[in-house]
Amino acid sequence: METVHSMAAMTTSEALSVVVSDLSMSRHPATFEELAGLPDDFLDVAVGAALIARDVHASLELGSVISRLDEMAAPLVHLGLAELPATDQADAIAQHMFGRLGFRGNEEDYYDPRNSLLPDVMERGLGIPISLALVYCEIARRAGVRARGVSFPGHFLVRVDAKGFDDAPVAVDPFFGGRRLDSAALQRLLERSNPSQAFTSAKHLIPASSRAILVRILVNLKWVYSTRGDFARALLALDRIICLTPDSVAALRERGTLAAKLGAVEAARSDFSRLLELAPHAPDASSIRSQLEVLRAKAGTLN
């Protein structure tokens, strides 16, 4: 009865948060679509990454992925890392993950799609910056360390912030052994993709949301599959991207174009029509309308 009265006193958004929280605690989302529909604050990036991997590994159990992360973090859980400065926290996670567990960046075959699939990354100990950052942050979180992914230009990083300390966040490169990067190193890294920009922590070390991380994983997979000619998997990756960001004009444009290339006329028409609803004055709107006319003609022929 007490719970009913407290729920009644809440706003609609607060009540929704409680319901979603209860659902999240009781079970993992059964499908990627279910996960993508959750509010941002309730998106579990590890579960999302596991669901992405299930598109390749159909029998994958989400619980086994989470349990494996628990096992990897277990030796750190009772070390009191939360009481240490950020530099010491970052070093402890790096020594464990890249030293004891043997994770490393896959420099030999960077574009292997397995580098973006969480269970493969954990099994092989190989990954690219964003997938290694995901594992780093999951291990850190279980050890009481606040570590978050950062969509740094051209190279995904991790930032570590120590609670109760006033020191600056520590930037970590998960692809190269979890090494710490000072301002000079971050400036050099930034110049590789943005030569004219000056590095600032406030601008370039903003934590990425779980949704943004999942989209970036999928963008990487989509690109890898496309370059290998595996357009069916590339299209599925685009489906997942649009699940997460249904109003993305860029993703709709790309999926519509790929669908048309694969002969999925109705799917292409739907994406291009939605694109024009969202961006009727897009620079390529005229071209999109012309493509729609061609697709309508094709649909008439097929009918």
pTM confidence score: 0.88
The Cα 9–Cα 6 span in angstroms is 5
**Domain edges within the chain:** 61-204, 247-302
8 A C-beta contact, residue 196 and residue 212: no
Task: Kindly report, residue by residue over 226-241, the tens digit of the pLDDT.
Answer: 999 999 999 999 999 9
pLDDT of residue 15: 42
User: What are the helix (H) ranges across 39-85?
Assistant: 45-54, 62-73
Q: Tell me the Ramachandran region of residue 22: left when phi exceeds 0, alpha when psi lies from -120 to 50, beta otherwise.
A: alpha
Q: Percent of the chain at pLDDT above 70? A: 89
Would the pLDDT of 162 be above 90? no
pLDDT of residue 19: 40
pLDDT of residue 167: 75
Task: Kindly report, residue by residue over 199-228, the tens digit of the pLDDT.
Answer: 999 999 999 999 999 999 999 999 999 999
Q: Tell me the Ramachandran region of residue 80: left when phi exceeds 0, alpha when psi lies from -120 to 50, beta otherwise.
A: left
Among 217, 187, 219, CA closest to 205: 187
CB atoms within 10 A of CB 56: 16
pLDDT of residue 300: 66
pLDDT of residue 134: 98
Task: Kindly report, residue by residue over 54-66, the tens digit of the pLDDT.
Answer: 999 999 999 999 9
pLDDT of residue 13: 46
- Joined tokens for residue 167: 């020191």
CA distances, 98 to each of 67, 81, 91 (Å): 19, 17, 10
Buried b / exposed e along 120-156 (16+ C-beta atoms within 10 A): bbbebbbbbbbbbbbbbbbbbebbbbbbbbbbbeebb
Among 120, 124, 158, CA closest to 141: 158
**Range 247-259 average pLDDT:** 97
Query: Mean pLDDT of all residues in the chain?
Result: 91
Return all residues near 203 (Cβ < 8 A) that are at least 6 apart.
Answer: none
Coil, helix or strand at residue 154: coil
Task: Kindly report, residue by residue over 7-52, the tens digit of the pLDDT.
Answer: 445 554 444 444 444 444 447 898 999 999 999 999 999 999 999 9
pLDDT of residue 225: 98
pLDDT of residue 149: 98
Range of lowest pLDDT (13-17, 163-167, 169-173, 213-217) = 13-17
- Joined tokens for residue 211: 């949704």
Task: Kindly report, residue by residue over 72-120, the tens digit of the pLDDT.
Answer: 999 999 999 999 999 999 999 999 999 999 999 999 999 999 999 999 9
